[in-house]
């Protein structure tokens, strides 16, 4: 009998480029079972590209991603489909079906991927909505939801089929402080209650550090720092210090790489 890997995801020397633009330049990280791991970095650093390798939407130029012991890019279509059934995804823009009610948005993956009777699907949908505090919103349409409610419905749909891994892509973007805190606490509560593993990919430092167990910082396509939250808060690493304390000066440049400004303006010295 095979043993269950301690890490649900293992990323080894992962490289990827869009054409000539290299985005991932040797990523190494692991996601332990039962933990919440944050992947932090500025916009454009490669976070979402990394996520697409988790689900096999992209194939690496070099290196690999293993999910539950399987090398993702080596799987055939049928195997890849079965693997994805073990993942739940909360999309950056919620991704709810606009023409379906809240109830039917949650019922959809159950109807699509299981043979459960409609009576049981009904009870499961209400259970998931109750977990995010929206049981009585089941008949609303997505257009009738506030931003915070929409994110909570998206979260409920991500856990609808009880996946082994839940991925949250920028779950806090655009939320007011109350909704933001609510979503953060729900991520922690649901992870512990369901016994799953969660990956939070975000640039929002303050909320993510309240609920995660471990942090990876990505910059320019590589992991520049990693550790537990307490270590990162006290880190002397220049990148981490700049990111944690929102300092304007440091290794993270505000300007996109370019030639000198005076040269663009054709100013002669």
126 pLDDT exceeds 90?
Answer: yes
Give the integer Cα–Cα distance in Å for 219 and 27.
Answer: 10
- What CATH superfamily is the domain 33-48+84-248? P-loop containing nucleotide triphosphate hydrolases (3.40.50.300)
Lowest mean pLDDT among 14-18, 34-38, 134-138, 182-186: 182-186
Cα dihedral 132/193/115/54 (nearest 10):
90
35 to 55, 162, 187, 228: CA distances (angstroms): 19, 16, 11, 11
Residue 212 structure tokens: 């995660």
Domain ranges for the chain, please list them. 33-48+84-248
- pLDDT for 179: 80
Convert the pLDDT of each residue in 168-198 to its tens digit. Answer: 888 887 777 888 888 888 889 888 888 899 9
Give the residue-averaged pLDDT of 237-251.
70
Task: Classify the phi-psi angles of 56: left when phi > 0, otherwise alpha if psi is within -120 to 50, otherwise beta.
Answer: left
- pLDDT for 243: 73
List, as own/partner pairs, every contact residues 213-217 make where C-beta atoms lie below 8 angstroms and the sequence separation is at least 24, other chains included. Answer: 213/35, 213/36, 213/37, 214/32, 214/35, 214/36, 214/37, 214/38, 215/37, 215/38, 215/40, 216/29, 216/37, 216/38, 216/39, 216/40, 217/40, 217/41, 217/243
1 pLDDT exceeds 50?
Answer: no
Record the pTM.
0.83
Lowest mean pLDDT among 54-68, 173-187, 254-268: 254-268
Lowest mean pLDDT among 86-95, 178-187, 228-237: 228-237
Convert the pLDDT of each residue in 204-220 to its tens digit. Answer: 777 777 788 999 988 88
240 to 21, 38, 123: CA distances (angstroms): 25, 14, 45
Percent of the chain with pLDDT over 90: 47
Give the integer Cα–Cα distance in Å for 190 and 198.
Answer: 10
């Amino acid at each position: 009998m095979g043993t269950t890997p301690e890490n649900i995801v293992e990323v080894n020397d992962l490289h990827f480029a869009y054409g000539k633009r290299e985005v991932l330049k040797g990523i190494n990280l692991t996601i332990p079972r039962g933990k919440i791991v944050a992947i932090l970095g500025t916009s454009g650093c490669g976070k979402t590209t990394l996520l697409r390798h988790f689900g096999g939407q992209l194939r690496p130029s070099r290196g690999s991603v293993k999910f539950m012991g399987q090398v993702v890019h080596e799987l055939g279509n049928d195997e890849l489909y079965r693997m994805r059934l073990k993942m739940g995804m909360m999309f950056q823009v919620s991704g709810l079906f606009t023409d379906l009610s809240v109830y039917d948005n949650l019922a959809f993956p159950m109807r699509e991927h299981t043979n459960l009777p409609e009576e049981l699907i009904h009870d499961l949908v209400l259970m998931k909505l109750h977990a995010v505090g929206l049981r009585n919103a089941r008949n609303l349409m997505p257009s009738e939801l506030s931003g915070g409610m929409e994110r909570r419905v998206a979260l409920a749909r991500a856990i609808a089929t009880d996946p082994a891994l839940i991925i949250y892509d920028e779950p806090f973007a655009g939320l007011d402080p109350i909704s933001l805190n609510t979503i953060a606490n729900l991520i922690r509560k649901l992870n512990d209650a369901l016994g799953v593993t969660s990956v939070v990919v975000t640039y929002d430092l303050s909320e993510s550090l309240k609920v995660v167990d471990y942090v990876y910082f990505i910059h320019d396509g590589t992991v520049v720092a990693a550790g537990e939250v307490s270590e990162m808060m006290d880190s002397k690493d220049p990148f981490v210090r700049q990111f944690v304390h929102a300092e304007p000066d440091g290794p993270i440049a505000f300007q996109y790489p370019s030639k000198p400004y005076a040269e663009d303006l054709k100013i002669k010295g």
